[in-house]
Amino acid sequence: MGYRSYVAVGDSFTEGLNDPGPAGTTGFRGWADRVAERLAQLEPGFRYANLAVRGKLIDQIIEDQVPRAVELRPDLVSLCAGGNDLLRPGSDPDRMAKTLAAAVRDLRATGAEVVLFTGVDPRDIPIMRRARGKFAVFYLHVRSISDLYGCRLIDQWSMQGLRDWRAWSEDRLHMNAEGHRLVAAKVLDVLGVPIDDDWRKTWPPREWADPRARRREDARWLREHLGPWIGRRLRGRSSGDGLDPKRPDLTPLPPPPA
């Protein structure tokens, strides 16, 4: 089956932070753009919308983005939500799952193919490690929802290539270009789309010549990334406040820059 239209729904992960766009463009690319670019190669007249906005919570995504995706009635929808909620104290993975299930039901009722995601195992990420059990409960729910409604599931928990920091940007919360490339390859593989890329990456060993260099890197991360992130949460602010989706309508992809 060729997909003629695709709508991506979610937060910063789907928006594409921190995967810079091609030379001559502004903004971020990300795994969803990479998937759309491949689908456009295979289907004349292919159209793509990306409704994702960084920092959004699951209720905001379901309220603001899912109705628009239903309205657009694409052949394919990707939905990834909940990561920002799970980072917050007091979030309830069972309630989140009920919210997600209702959204998936609405999307599937349009006849669209729906792609869902588990997250990466957070055991190697300092600010997430203590909440690992809560992450696991929610992602088990995601697997169940996927099975119940006949969705395609992208299991990032099992992607060993994403457990290496070289797949992540300096903030350790968002993937870099290599991480987004791996996810795009996984999505296309699960969709049965022929690709020349492989998501099964094995990184060469990384050696730290000086343990002090690693400690300095950790200290810089705390100062430049974790501190500001905590500050925004304490002020009730989000990195996505005031931002609009980068591709709010189903439109053809522009040709790549020369």
Give residue-wise pLDDT tens across range 201-257: 888 887 655 777 667 776 776 677 666 766 666 666 666 678 999 999 999 998 765
Q: Is residue 64 part of a domain?
A: yes
Residue type (1 letter), 245: P
Q: Is residue 221 part of a domain?
A: yes
Tell me how many domains the chain contains.
1
Domain for residue 257, yes or no? no
Q: Compute the mean pLDDT over every residue in the chain, rounded to the nearest whole number.
A: 90
CATH of the domain at 73: 3.40.50.1110
- Count of alpha carbons within 13 Å of 11, Cβ hemisphere only? 24
Judge whether 242 lies within some domain.
yes
Residue 214: per-residue pLDDT: 66
Whether 48 maps to a domain, the answer reads yes
Q: Pairing state of beta strands 47-50 and 247-252? A: antiparallel
Q: Is residue 205 situated within a structural domain?
A: no
Q: pLDDT tens digits for 158-182?
A: 999 999 989 998 887 899 999 999 9
Instruction: Provide the whole-model pTM.
Output: 0.90
Both tokens assigned to 28: 């971020």
Domain-located, residue 158: yes
Q: Which residue has the higher pLDDT, 22 or 6?
A: 6
CB 2 within 8 A of CB 44: no
**Residue 258 forms part of a structural domain:** no
Structural domain boundaries, residue 134 = 5-198+210-252
Task: Using alpha carbons, list the distances in angstroms from residue 97 to 67, 200, 212.
Answer: 18, 29, 42
* Angle, vertex CA 93, rays to CA 119 and CA 159, nearest 5: 15
